[in-house]
Structure formats: structure tokens, C-alpha cells
A and B are shown apart, each in its own frame.
Chain A
Amino acid sequence: MLSRTADHLYWMARYIERAENVARMLDVNYRMSMVPQADGGIDAGWGATLSITGLEDAFRAKHSAATMESVLEFMVFDGTNSSSIMSCLRMARENAHAVRGTITSEMWETTNDTWLKMRDYPRWKLAGSEIGEFFEWVKFRSHLSRGVTLGTMLRDEAFHFIRLGTFLERADATARFIDVKYHMLVDGAAPPDTAADYYQWSALLRSVSAFEVYRKVYRDMITPVKVAELLILNDQMPRSLRTSLDEVFENLSALSNYRSSETERRAGELHASLKFGRIEDVFTRGLHEYLTQFIVRVIDLGNRVSEDFLVPMSSN
């Protein structure tokens, strides 16, 4: 396969996944904002979503304060913000357009249709109670896109590059979710054992579609350690770091070429650390340090994938 084609497939998948994660992150904030909390808690929550994405500076250049309205405008519609849902879906569509001969017509039509609908999405719908519907819509378009990939694509190189992009992006996003939310919760705006605390934890779980999963796995009350264990180490939880790295490692192995052995080794090492790791050790080391380290290693894998297979970042 052409390196450029692989590059487009990989980034198409990353942008779709990114749009979904931005929607999930905004959705959980929106849900949390309905929970009674201390003064300033709501705006602090919107500010935190910006720090997850590392976009505080770009945001401050345009908006004076992080409120629900300003953050939504910036993270949903702002075409100059490369991480906004609008930008992600546009980039997904542009990458798909460049390789429409390689993906199935169903995949192209899904991606194109998502972009056309997003471009024309009525903004007034985000002002009121229908905002939740919008986030659901973004998530479902992402589900649809994954489903179409699984349901129509030949299991060839193209498929593996798409899956690799999806799961590297997801590993990165889930790690950031846990990190920021966890610290907000533990360092705490909300005192423990209050109703607010419970809702905050459950909102974090919901943001990764893990609320019912948690109940099923633990049949117990919600505790920080168990939440972390579920989202980091659980091999059955589809958005956990462990599952993401299962997929990264597997797809990378399938793509193996004449110069990718070091990248595979690093992916294998990170995968093994999740497969055989214990949550107690994670906490002994410090959750924040652990996640920071994890994110650095995922970024390194992304760079190495570009160097080994795709169009190297430096020439973009």
C-alpha cells in the first residue's frame, strides 16, 4: 500500500475517534454541570476540559472566561481550532476523500454524510436542552463509522491502519480523561462521601460508557481505585487503556515491515505492562505520574508509526 494512502487512512480514523472523545468529554461536563456543586465548580469543570486537550492558550486568545457557552463554541464549531468537533469531522472527511478508492463506498458515504450534516447542523440546537442530543449524534456517527469499517472492510493493511489510528487515539484520550477527572475529584472540589462525589464518579464512568459496566464487573459501590482499575487494566472494557493497547499491538504486528521492529518492541513492552500490571503498583507510583508516562509513550508510538510506515510528520 502507498505510504500516503496509509497516512490518510490512519488520520481519518484518528480524527473520527477524536471527534467522539471530544463529544464524550463535553457531554460529561454538561452532565456534571447539572449536579449541585460549590460556587465556581461548574466553570472550573469547563476549564478542565480545555486543559485535557492542551488548548487553554488558544482558547484564552479568543475568549475571556471558560463558560459553557464559550467552551462549546470553541470545542464544537470553531473551525480555527483543530481539535473542535467541526475540524475533526472535516479532517476525517478530507482524509477519506483522498483515499475514497481504498475504502469501501459505505465508509466513504458515512464519513461524507457525517461531515455534510455537521456542516449544516443548526447551531440553535446547542443552546438549549437539545445539546445532549448533539453529543449522542456525534457518538453514534462514530459508532456507525466503526461498524461500517468492521462490517465492510477487507481485513487487509488498510483495515489495520484504520484500527491502529483508532486505538492509539483512544488510548491517548482515555488516559487524559482519567488523569484530569481523577485529580479534580481526588484533590477535590467536592468533599468525599457526598452525593456530588458519587455523581462525579458516575459521570466519569459514563463518559466512557462504563457506568453499567462497572456495576456488572464489581457489583459494589463506586471507589476511585476500582474506577481506575476498570479504565486502565480491564481487558474486557472496550475503552480501557489495556484494550486499546491490545488492539495497537495486534494491528502493529500485522503491519510489521522491514524497519518497524523497534516500534513493535516498544508497543509490546507497553502492552505487557498493562497486561501484567497491578492497580496497587500504579497507585504506589502515583496515578498522575503513571498516566503522564503512559501518554508520553503513546505519543512516541504515534511518531514512530509515522516514521516507519506513513508520511513522516516532518515532511507534512
Chain B
Amino acid sequence: MANPSSIYDEMNSADGTVRSHYAGYKKWLAETPPERIAQKRAEADLVFHRVGITFAVYGEESGKERLIPFDIVPRIIPAQEWKQLAAGLRQRVKALNMFLNDVYHDQEIIKAGHVPAEQILSNSQYRPEMQGVDVPGGIYAHIAGVDVVRAGAGEFYVLEDNLRVPSGVSYMLEDRRMMMRLFPELFSRYRVAPVEHYPDMLLTNLRAVAPAGVIDPTVVVLTPGAYNSAYFEHAFLAQQMGVELVEGQDLFVRDEHLYMRTTQGPQRVDVIYRRIDDDFLDPLAFRPDSMLGVPGLLQVYRDGHVTLANAIGTGVADDKSIYPYVPDMIRFYLGEEPLLNNVPTFMCRKPDDLAYVLSHLGELVVKETHGAGGYGMLIGPRATKEEIERFRQLIIDTPDRYIAQPTLALSACPTFVDAGIAPRHIDLRPFVLSGKDINMVPGGLTRVALREGSLVVNSSQGGGTKDTWILEV
């Protein structure tokens, strides 16, 4: 674990002075009576409850919904820093899409010897069904949620590239709406880049990848249903885009095309923004017990009669075992040096790395290659002896399933906690949209680990969120 004094504080520099982009906020905070702040925080809770911005927590009492805690101290990023970050994100996502197109076609990157064939072809996330299938524009990851952390000034690391069904964008939008409602005066002091046009941008992006020849494409959002943890977001995005929110049971295949059941009879569907994992999309092709998908969908998709966003099989590019190769992908496909850092990663399947990992478990973060959501991971410096020994055995038994990384000194941002305001670790998930070109709204979702010292920001593990401000000047 990094020495606390070496942790980068987003608001205050090491000598105790406030960073210039936070000066206005800090002054406002000092001038605002604590009672007003307390009252506004209570108001935020009330509104989030009434509006029902909740998520279901797996493993808790069934159907239980919880609020994701919202913190009123914004995460502020100066314009120049965002510019660098955005350029790095575009570069990365562009290369990842080229990688996906490559591994499902000519596999040049394997032939060139940059990534071992078995790492790709025997990865459970690789979908042989997609081999040779041409998708519109060669775009696979239409929506990417890239998790970025800061270790120091201008020093950003990508933790993971979420290319399957990344969520959280609704919280980004609701957090902004809430901040503007609670503290309108702050927005006259700061020129904060707007994010509210995200749904428009998403819709434009989805329409741009419709099957060839479709003039006025019908777009839908496919959800597993009201009991899914991210259902609020599915409904929110469908509503904001003005498209139908469908479940598998609303769709059917007829004459090689996809239709939805409407009150006026069957209607053709051209683009599906799907929020269901690959495995559940089509019971005829993948898990036969899936009640969430549409029988025959894969065939319609392979024939190019419907577009899925994201494409099937994107998991092979955001898998933690592929992650270490992303800088090479950028060099290989774009001929550029990566603008964003990768966290140095030990691959337990390599004997040298394995030996190092086993002798340094106490200082490393160990992650399951296919895990997500902060489940199944070991944070060495915070773990008990028993946990470390349990992981040691797991890694020895199945080294292929684990990678390890040094513990990063994630930056911290002042946050309201029971005892007042204290620094808590944060990350950032910008949402990168790929269609005709690559677009993103300035910023993303800032997640904050509310427990003191904790590095796990996932909402399922008690993380909260903050509004993210990209300054325009």
C-alpha cells in the first residue's frame, strides 16, 4: 500500500494549498452554512428515492433496491487534462475495435506474433460464431466504458476496458441533474462542460450502424427485465432516446428478419442496443435455458439483417488476460505510441510471473481474468492471512485464471463522510461511443470508495458516485 502522504489529492496539493481549479469550489464550501449543506444532502437522498434511481444488489434479500450514495463534492478535471485523456481514450478504443475486427477475420496480430494464438482462440470470451461475420463499419464495441484512475499529476492509468455491456451512464446524467438542482449557483461560477446530450449522441451513433440499405432504422433497447440490477438505466436510456425498451419475449424472428410485437402488429427492428450478456441472447445458439433472449437472433445477426450493439464476442478484447496486450495493439494497428498507461500486469500463466506473484501476494492486487464488478479479487495489502492463503491455492490450481498488478496509489477526492469531509479514493469511467466516428461527452462517471482507505469503487461493494466536471477553460 502506498504511503498515504504520497496519495494524490484532487483538491489539495501536498503543501496544503488548494489546486487552482478547485479554489472557487473550496471558497464556496467555506462560505456556505453547514446547515444548508446538510439540508441539500438530505434533499438529494429524498429525490433519488422518490425518482427511484436505485439498483438491485445481488445476494441480498430478493428484490431489494438500494440507492447508490451520491456525494456532493464534484470531481473537477481541468480542460487541458481532459484533452489528453480524451485523445488517449479515442486511440485506445479505436485500436480495440480494430483488434476485434482482426481476430474475427484475418488474425494478422496473431500472425505477426504479438499475441499468442491460444490466448485468443481458446479464450472462453472468443466467439467462433463471429468468424468471418462483417459488422457495419467494422465496429464491435459501440459503447465502451473505460475505467481510468489517476496516480499523479497528468498520470492516468487504464484499469480495464469494459466492452461488453458497460453501465453507469445514467448515474453520470442524474448526478449532473442533481448538482444543478441543488447548487445552481456553482454553475454560474464554473464553466462546466455539459453532458446532457449523451442520449442524443448515443441514438445518432446507433442509427449510424444500422444494416446497409435501411433508411430510417428502428432502434430498441433490449433489457433482461425489471429485476435486473441496471434496469433503471435501461429504462432511462430508452426513454431519453425515445425508443422502445424491449424484453426478449417482445421480439421474434420471421422470414430472416427480427420483429417486435406491437399493438399495431409486428414491426421490424434494425438496431438493438442490448443490455444482455452474449450467453443469454439466443437460446438456440448459446445457453438453451435462457428466457431472456430471442430464438434465432444469432442467424439474423450473422445475415446482417440486424445490428447488435455491442457486437457478440467483444469480451475477448476486454478480458483481463488480453489487457496486457493493448499497448501492443495500439502500436500494431495505429503505428502510434499509447497515450494512456496500462498498469504493469503479471500473467500467472507465465511461470516467471507466477513465481513473482506467489512470493509477493501481500503487496499485489490479484484479479480473476473473467471477473467483473469487484467480485473475486484480492487486495494484498488489505487482506488477512487466510485470504492470502486461499488465493495462493486458487492461483496454484488454475494460474490461467489470474493476473496480478501492483497496488496503485489511486488519487483521492474530498468526500462527505460521517465525520465530515475526508479524502476517499476515486476512479473515472468515461463512455466512448464508436460509430461513423468516435465521440464522447466530456467527463464520465466518477465512482468513489466510501470506506476509508478502500480502493474498491464498485457500487455492488458500497461505492458511491460524484458529479464529474470537465472545465471549459
A3 touches B52 (CB 8 A): no
Interface locus among B101-109, B188-196, B238-246: B238-246
Which residue of the partner chain B has the closest CB to A6? B263
Whole-angstrom distance between the Cβ of B253 and the nearest chain A Cβ: 17
B263 touches A309 (CB 8 A): yes
From the candidates B52, B225, B247, B262, name the one contacting A1 in the complex (CB within 8 A): B262
List of A residues within 8 angstroms of B264 by Cβ: 1, 257-258
Binary flags per residue of B262-303, CB closer than 8 Å to A gives 1, else 0: 111100000000000000000000000000000000000000
Whole-angstrom distance between the Cβ of B268 and the nearest chain A Cβ: 14
Asked if A67 CB lies within 8 Å of chain B CBs, one says no
Which residue of the partner chain B has the closest CB to A308? B263
B238 touches A97 (CB 8 A): no
Given contacts A101-B238, A108-B52, contact A3 B262 (CB under 8 A): yes
List of B residues within 8 angstroms of A4 by Cβ: 247, 249-250, 261
Q: In chain A, residues 110-166, which have Cβ atoms closer than 8 Å to a Cβ of chain B?
A: 112-113, 116, 157, 161
From the candidates A5, A100, A113, name the one contacting B50 in the complex (CB within 8 A): A113
Q: In chain B, residues 1-57, which have Cβ atoms closer than 8 Å to a Cβ of chain A?
A: 49-52
Q: How large is the interface on A (under 10, 10 to 19, 20 to 34, 35 or more residues)?
A: 20 to 34
A101 touches B235 (CB 8 A): yes
B250 touches A112 (CB 8 A): no
- Most chain A C-beta atoms within 10 Å of own C-beta, residue among B238, B239, B244, B263: B263
Asked if B333 CB lies within 8 Å of chain A CBs, one says no
Asked if B169 CB lies within 8 Å of chain A CBs, one says no
Alpha-carbon separation in the docked complex, A305 to B383 (Å) = 60
Alpha-carbon separation in the docked complex, A133 to B260 (Å) = 46
Whole-angstrom distance between the Cβ of B12 and the nearest chain A Cβ: 38
Main secondary structure of the interface of B (DSSP, over half): mixed
Asked if A102 CB lies within 8 Å of chain B CBs, one says yes
Q: In chain A, residues 1-43, which have Cβ atoms closer than 8 Å to a Cβ of chain B?
A: 1-6
Asked if A296 CB lies within 8 Å of chain B CBs, one says no
From the candidates B51, B235, B239, name the one contacting A109 in the complex (CB within 8 A): B51
Which residue of the partner chain A has the closest CB to B240? A101
Alpha-carbon separation in the docked complex, A102 to B235 (Å) = 8
From the candidates A101, A257, A310, name the one contacting B245 in the complex (CB within 8 A): A101
Alpha-carbon separation in the docked complex, A94 to B226 (Å) = 9
Alpha-carbon separation in the docked complex, A4 to B245 (Å) = 10
B262 touches A2 (CB 8 A): yes
List of B residues within 8 angstroms of A310 by Cβ: 263
Asked if B236 CB lies within 8 Å of chain A CBs, one says yes
List of A residues within 8 angstroms of B235 by Cβ: 100-101
A257 touches B263 (CB 8 A): yes
Whole-angstrom distance between the Cβ of B228 and the nearest chain A Cβ: 12
List of A residues within 8 angstroms of B226 by Cβ: 94, 97-98
Whole-angstrom distance between the Cβ of B439 and the nearest chain A Cβ: 23
Asked if A292 CB lies within 8 Å of chain B CBs, one says no
Asked if A189 CB lies within 8 Å of chain B CBs, one says no
Given contacts A98-B226, A102-B239, contact A3 B51 (CB under 8 A): no
Whole-angstrom distance between the Cβ of B45 and the nearest chain A Cβ: 14
Which residue of the partner chain A has the closest CB to B261? A3
Binary flags per residue of A255-282, CB closer than 8 Å to B gives 1, else 0: 1011000000000000000000000000
- Most chain B C-beta atoms within 10 Å of own C-beta, residue among A2, A3, A105, A116: A2
Whole-angstrom distance between the Cβ of A142 and the nearest chain B Cβ: 19
Which residue of the partner chain B has the closest CB to A112? B52
From the candidates B236, B249, B265, name the one contacting A257 in the complex (CB within 8 A): B265
User: Footprint of B on A, CB under 8 Å?
Assistant: 1-6, 94, 97-102, 105, 108-109, 112-113, 116, 157, 161, 255, 257-258, 309-310
Given contacts A1-B244, A2-B260, 13 further A-B contacts (CB under 8 A): A2-B244, A2-B263, A3-B250, A3-B261, A3-B263, A4-B250, A94-B226, A100-B52, A101-B236, A101-B245, A109-B52, A112-B50, A157-B263
Which 10 pairs from chain A and chain B are nearest by CB?
Answer: A101-B239, A101-B235, A101-B238, A309-B263, A3-B261, A101-B245, A6-B263, A98-B226, A100-B235, A1-B263
